[in-house]
Amino acid sequence: MKTSNRLMLACEGVMTKKVRTFMLGIGVSVGTAALIFLVSLIFGAKAYVDEKVGGIRENLLNVGIKPPPPHNPQPLDDSAYRQLLQIKGETGEVVDVYRELPIAPRPYIKVKNQPANNWLKVVSVDEGLYQNNPDNPIPDFKYRHVEPVDESEITFPEADETEATEEEKDTNFIPVIVPNVFVEALTSFAGDERKSLKQFFDILQGQEPFYVLVQGKGYRCKVVAVDNTVSSWSIAVPFRYGEEWNRHQGEQFPDYKWPNYDRFVVEATDIKHLDDIKEKIAAAGYQPQPTEAQEIGIAVSRGAMYLFLLAVTFCLVIALVSAIGIFNGLSISIMEQAPRIGILRSVGATRTDISSIYLFEAAIIGIVGGIIGLVAAHLLMWGSDIALKDFLSDVTNIRDIQTLFVWSLPEAFYIRTGAVGLGVITSLLAGVGPAYRASCLNPAVVLREG
Amino acid sequence: MAIISLKNVSKIYRTAAGEQLAALDNVNLEIEEGEFVAVVGESGSGKTTLLNMIGGLDQPTEGSVLVDSHDITSAGDRELSLFRNRSIGFIFQSFHLQPLQTALANVMVPLLFADASWPEARKKSETSLGLVGLADKVNQRANQLSAGQCQRVAIARAIINSPRILLADEPTGNLDVHTGTDIINLLKQINMEQKTTVLLVTHERDVASQAQRMITIKEGLIISDAAIKAEGDENKQ
């Protein structure tokens, strides 16, 4: 028997019980819609976070002090710096090594209308780390001489008092880089904090200066970039300031034991060599670690994977319930249609023909349910996207979300076809038992009883 | 030459209580090609079982059923299905039509299993419906037809593949006397014109008397098998 004829008889069977087919398809629709909705949301939200976290420079590696015991800690000093550069020379796999120097004692930071405080750590970093970033080079991050003012003479002119043209010409500031997670943390505040949030935004966007106070002197600073290589709750200035400021502090505190570098950042030519480089750094007595941005990326990926597994589990439960429904529905249908099966057998249907016809019926239920689910998922995502964006905009001040769902190809295509395919497969699997039972019916018996 | 030959055929059912019940008991029967045979007997006597054995819908517990010298009891599912599709036409008491389908779609079903093309199937179905006098009801749904018309559609479906054997199980059971007579006349016409062997199961003696030969079954045994003299023959004598 031709497949098209089997399909025609299956359609005939489905059309004789439209309501039941629709009700069975609803189960598949719910599962399909839920799967598309949840997976699109998880991956869409992850894509947004990834974008905000920025191009994570995966070829970077932090190098810190190896914790004792049993290891003897190697200080992160100039000899360590040279040693790491030599590793670069030996392997040919390391592009460069950047130093991060903490400024100690921790300087105070003075922001307009706020008391000075030292809750942010100030570090100085080799400029090359940012200037050599292929994805986001920051050429402004370089040393320039800035004349400090006495702490008592620090003023913050009102925004409207500063001419735009003068603002554009303004070069009398130290460039500062802050971490983007820091921005995200700040932007998540809301409510009564809006006014101060506005000020934070202005600072972060380099529109409002602030001062770093070292030895009673205020250095005018502006944020020039947000970058993921800067540690949380830190701000980074060009390396030479760290050397200068620590020298000034040294004059004040001659007996103070000055810290070594906070960390080194090793840049590899290729992410594929990182493991090899890690081993060599560890063998030299240091502690290789992923960068904070990489850890955030890993955490986001891991979180997304857990949510994905949760969504898949949820959808599998729906699929199981749907499968049970389809199994029962088809079983009842076969009992009701037993005389039809008998007549088909009497006019020449083989057992294979009968089972194929009922498998086609199951597939039709799956396809119809899947398509309904697909349409429902799109409507749901469209509505939810608007609602979620409004909600997040209201409660968090995040206003730059394009979408929280996956709409772009080819990912959207894979998610949707995968979900519809799962619905069809579920239906088919649920239909195997009833289809087999239908093929095993004795035509003589069902014709007599029908 | 016998087109149907049953040799020592028995069919034993096992009841729910575990008892054995012989629907057919060592039946031997031969039916010649082109014969119009009526099988009569009370309900439960084994008439339908006999018909199902010959049509390959059921398997005997013992014995063999030969159709056109082929033993269908040893045939596989595919072979039996092909046999039913090509050589056998079934007519049932309750018609077994798809109520929401048109007469044409109902008649066409056997052709779907014969891999006929759509235009060919349509043409043959229309011809078949014309033969049973329903040329004007082609696109009428089965649930819009009278009982007599439904049985005609069922007959059209049974003869669409020009089978050599027609097996009619109580074809007049759900019809009034007048319509029943029409149906029997139609079967006789098919038997005469197409030389189709017709095996008619009925419990009505009047209906059975329209056949050329009457076989009486009681409790699974053939108790009589005799030719029926036509009215014309009696007058001649």
**What is the full DSSP assignment across A150-211?**
EGGG-----GGGS-HHHHHH---SEEEEE-HHHHHHHHT--GGGHHHHHHHHHHHTTSS-EE
Q: Are residues A104 and A247 in the same domain?
A: yes
How close is the nearest chain A Cα to the Cα of B23, in Å? 13
CATH of the domain at B105: 3.40.50.300
Give the pLDDT confidence of A16-65 residue by residue, as tens digits.
Answer: 778 878 888 888 888 889 888 888 888 888 777 766 665 556 778 888 88
Q: Are B156 and B162 in contact (CB under 8 A)?
A: no
User: Which chain A residues are closer than 8 Å to B58 by Cβ?
Assistant: 442-444
**What confidence tier does A166 reach under pLDDT thresholds 50, 70, 90?**
low
User: Which chain B residues are closer than 8 Å to A338 by Cβ?
Assistant: none
CA distance A385 to A407: 11
CA distance A88 to A96: 7
Give the pLDDT confidence of B30-75 residue by residue, as tens digits.
Answer: 999 999 999 999 888 899 999 999 999 999 999 999 998 889 998 8
CA distance A437 to A439: 5
Q: Are residues A21 and A143 in the same domain?
A: no
**Last residue of one domain, picked from the residues A274, A296, A318:** A296
Q: Are residues A211 and A316 in the same domain?
A: no
**Last residue of one domain, picked from the residues A296, A321, A341:** A296
Q: Are residues A260 and A199 in the same domain?
A: yes
Q: Are A397 and A195 in contact (CB under 8 A)?
A: no
Nearest CA in chain A to B159: A347
Q: Say yes or no to pLDDT of B233 above 60.
A: no
Residue B30 has a pLDDT of 93
Average pLDDT, chain A: 82
Residue B156 has a pLDDT of 93
Task: Kindly state whether B96 is in contact with chain A, defined as any CB-CB distance less than 8 angstroms.
Answer: yes
| Cβ–Cβ below 8 Å for A347 and B101 | no
Which one-letter amino acid corresponds to residue A362?
A
Q: Say yes or no to pLDDT of A421 above 80.
A: yes
Closest Cβ opposite residue B110 in set A12, A347, A442: A347
How close is the nearest chain A Cα to the Cα of B78, in Å? 6
Mean pLDDT of A245-259: 84
What six digits make up the tokens of A270? 């290729």
CA distance A391 to B56: 70
Q: Are residues A354 and A234 in the same domain?
A: no
| Cβ–Cβ below 8 Å for B90 and A347 | yes
**What confidence tier does A289 reach under pLDDT thresholds 50, 70, 90?**
confident
Q: Are residues A409 and A290 in the same domain?
A: no
Q: Say yes or no to pLDDT of A411 above 70.
A: yes
Strand arrangement of the beta sheet that strand B36-40 belongs to: B88-91, B165-169, B197-202, B36-40, B213-218, B221-227
How close is the nearest chain A Cα to the Cα of B61, in Å? 14
Nearest CA in chain A to B102: A12
Q: Are residues A291 and A323 in the same domain?
A: no
Residue B236 has a pLDDT of 36
Q: How many CB atoms lie within 10 A of CB A323?
A: 22
* φ, ψ of residue B88 in degrees (nearest 5): -120, 140
| Top-confidence residue, A109 or A397 | A109
| Cβ–Cβ below 8 Å for B96 and A343 | yes
| Cβ–Cβ below 8 Å for A351 and B52 | no
Count of the separate structural domains present in chain B:
1
Q: Is B225 exposed, middle or buried (0-12, 13-18, 19+ CB in 10 A)?
A: middle
Q: Are residues A132 and A252 in the same domain?
A: yes
CA distance B200 to B208: 8
DSSP state for residue B141 in the 8-state scheme: B
Q: Is B151 helix (H, G, I), strand (E, B) or coil?
A: helix
**What confidence tier does A190 reach under pLDDT thresholds 50, 70, 90?**
very low
| Cβ–Cβ below 8 Å for B57 and A447 | yes
User: Which chain B residues are closer than 8 Å to A351 by Cβ?
Assistant: 77
The gap from C-alpha B39 to its chain's centroid, in whole angstroms, comes to 11
CA distance A130 to B100: 75
Its domain, for residue A251, covers: 60-296
Q: Which value does ipTM take for this structure?
A: 0.89
DSSP state for residue A322 in the 8-state scheme: H
- Residue written as token pair 């891991």: A302
Give the pLDDT confidence of A215-245 residue by residue, as tens digits.
Answer: 889 999 999 988 877 887 888 999 999 999 9
**Last residue of one domain, picked from the residues A263, A296, A329:** A296
Count of the separate structural domains present in chain A:
2
Nearest CA in chain B to A352: B78
Express as a percent the part of chain A with pLDDT over 90: 18
Q: Is A302 exposed, middle or buried (0-12, 13-18, 19+ CB in 10 A)?
A: exposed
Task: Kindly state whether B78 is in contact with chain A, defined as any CB-CB distance less than 8 angstroms.
Answer: yes
- Please tell me whether the peptide bond between A70 and the residue prior to it is cis, using omega within 30 degrees of 0: yes
Give the pLDDT confidence of A350-359 residue by residue, as tens digits.
Answer: 999 999 999 9
Which residues does residue A109 pair with via DSSP β-bridges, in sequence order?
A: A117, A212
Nearest CA in chain B to A446: B57
Task: Determine which of B112, B118, B125, B161 to mutate to test the interface with A (most A C-beta atoms within 10 Å).
Answer: B112
Q: Is A411 exposed, middle or buried (0-12, 13-18, 19+ CB in 10 A)?
A: middle
Q: Are residues A324 and A384 in the same domain?
A: yes
Task: Kindly state whether B73 is in contact with chain A, defined as any CB-CB distance less than 8 angstroms.
Answer: no
CA distance A331 to A323: 12
CA distance B97 to B130: 18
Task: Kindly state whether B75 is in contact with chain A, defined as any CB-CB distance less than 8 angstroms.
Answer: no
Give the pLDDT confidence of A69-113 residue by residue, as tens digits.
Answer: 666 677 888 888 888 887 755 555 667 889 999 988 889 988 887
Its domain, for residue B109, covers: 2-236
CA distance B199 to A213: 113
The gap from C-alpha A356 to its chain's centroid, in whole angstroms, comes to 45
How close is the nearest chain B Cα to the Cα of A428, in Å? 23
Contacts of A130 (CB under 8 A, 6+ apart): A137, A138, A141, A177, A225, A227, A229
Q: Are residues A265 and A352 in the same domain?
A: no
| Element containing residue A374 per DSSP (H, E) | helix A351-396
